[in-house]
């Protein structure tokens, strides 16, 4: 275990690397937890081209709800804010709304749209329809002119309608899943970053100076992979304890053992990804360029940083063949429902298959032009 002991001492002696391994997951988890605790305010972007009493009344009623109204001058500005998520719902009121309702036309001049239908946008659409139905009911009364109709609208000022989100799930469990997925991403990032230490030694040809007895390239990769797993699990146990402290949870032993077993397989897969980067890279420049290609896309597509469901279906299918997605699905199934024996075998098969393929690929690369025995 000379390689293992050497790099264990070397990384532990590097205080910056050691602190990153310990503190980065803690800091990332804590900032994510704070985001979970903030009260989100739904923002509605409005372009009021009608600017009559009815449109102003509608905007006033919306303002009384738990939403923020963001007025825009043009539809293009509103679309840009919707795309950049500065507003969650867009409302365009075309010119002549009040006259349109008075004439009892079937389509009022209001257009509403959002990027996705969620727990806020769907009730909002229903309540807008309810508001318009009320105004049409008033408009059904005989009025001499639009001024009398405008006066009748004052009755609506006595009513309010609220837009709110009712959370139906188990918030503690969902927060736990979100934080454990953030931890999975941090372990991924740090372990792949650790591979650059090995790549730097490979580039400098340092092996002859650190090995004091004959060591084959396969032994080198096995020992260094074991080191990856050890550091990854150290991160997991420390950060998992921190998550439990934040949420006030206590995971019972059977569930914790299953989550730990899944994490060990996940970390082993990450170790092989790091070793493949070392084996395939000729120098540090290549390795550093491969780092963002592996980490960020896989972390984003797999759902470690946000729900997978917001990604296009095609990208979800592409990411589903990587361990970063398997650990997300594994944790979600275990925490929310409890894994059955068949599910344990399924996920175990995924991880072990990836490990076998990774070992074969590394062996082929090493056999061709890898590290020579010294």
**Residue 92: beta bridge partners?**
47, 111
Q: 242: closest CA among 179, 297, 199, 187? A: 179
Q: With the C-alpha atoms ordered 352, 356, 362, 366, is the resulting torsion angle positive or negative?
A: positive
Distance CA 55, CA 51 (A): 6
| pTM of the predicted model over 0.85 | no
pLDDT at res. 19: 78
Which residues make Cβ contacts (< 8 Å) with residue 144, sequence separation at least 6? none
Distance CA 276, CA 291 (A): 12
10 Å Cβ neighbour count for 29?
21
Q: With the C-alpha atoms ordered 119, 122, 156, 46, is the resulting torsion angle positive or negative?
A: positive
Q: What is the dihedral of CA 149, 152, 156, 158, to 10 degrees?
A: 160
Percent residues over pLDDT 90 in the chain: 3
pLDDT at res. 126: 66
Structure tokens at 121: 């946008």
pLDDT(372) > 50: no
Q: Which domains does the chain have, with CATH numbers?
A: 2-35+170-369 (no CATH), 40-158 (3.40.190)
Rounded to the nearest angstrom, the gap between the alpha carbon of residue 103 and the centroid of all alpha carbons in its chain is 48
**Residue 110: beta bridge partners?**
93
Contact 79, 61 (CB under 8 A): no
Distance CA 29, CA 182 (A): 7
pLDDT at res. 94: 85
State the burial class of residue 305 (Cβ atoms within 10 Å of its Cβ: 0-12, 13-18, 19+): middle
Q: What is the dihedral of CA 368, 4, 262, 267, to 10 degrees?
A: -60
Binned at pLDDT 50, 70 and 90, residue 69 comes out as confident
pLDDT(270) > 80: yes
pLDDT(371) > 50: no
pLDDT at res. 140: 61
The helix (run of H) or strand (run of E) holding residue 312 is none
């Amino acid at each position: 275990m000379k390689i293992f002991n050497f790099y264990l001492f070397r990384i532990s002696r590097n205080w910056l690397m050691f602190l990153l391994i310990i503190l980065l997951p803690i800091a990332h988890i804590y900032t994510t937890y704070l985001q979970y605790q903030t009260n989100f305010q739904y923002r509605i972007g409005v372009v009021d081209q009608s600017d009559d009493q009815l449109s102003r009344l509608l905007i006033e009623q919306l303002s009384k709800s738990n939403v923020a109204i963001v007025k825009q001058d043009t539809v293009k500005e509103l679309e840009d804010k919707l795309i950049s998520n500065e507003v969650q719902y867009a409302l365009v009121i075309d010119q002549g709304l009040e006259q349109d309702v008075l004439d009892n036309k079937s389509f009022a001049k209001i257009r509403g749209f959002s990027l996705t239908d969620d727990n806020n946008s769907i009730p909002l659409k229903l309540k807008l329809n309810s508001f318009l139905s009320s105004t049409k009911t008033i408009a059904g009364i005989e009025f001499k002119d639009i001024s009398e109709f405008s006066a009748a609208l004052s009755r609506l000022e006595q009513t309010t309608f609220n837009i709110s989100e009712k959370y139906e799930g188990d918030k503690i469990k969902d927060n736990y899943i979100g934080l454990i997925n953030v931890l999975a991403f941090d372990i991924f990032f740090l372990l792949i970053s650790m591979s650059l230490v090995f790549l730097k030694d490979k580039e400098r040809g340092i092996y002859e100076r650190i090995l004091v007895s004959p060591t084959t390239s396969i032994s080198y990769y096995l020992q260094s992979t074991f080191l990856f797993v050890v550091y990854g699990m150290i991160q997991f146990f420390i950060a998992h304890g921190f998550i439990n402290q934040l949420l006030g949870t206590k995971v019972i032993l059977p569930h914790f053992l299953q989550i730990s077993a899944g994490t060990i397989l996940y970390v082993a897969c990450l170790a092989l990804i790091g070793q493949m980067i070392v084996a395939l890279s000729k120098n540090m420049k290549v390795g550093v360029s491969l780092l963002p290609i592996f980490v960020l896309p896989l972390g984003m597509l797999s759902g470690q940083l946000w729900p997978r469901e917001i990604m296009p279906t095609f990208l979800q299918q592409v990411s589903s063949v990587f361990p970063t997605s398997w650990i997300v699905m594994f944790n979600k199934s275990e925490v929310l429902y409890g894994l059955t024996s068949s599910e344990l075998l399924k996920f175990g098969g995924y991880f072990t298959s990836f490990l076998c393929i990774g070992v074969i690929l590394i062996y082929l690369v090493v056999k061709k032009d890898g590290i020579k025995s010294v």
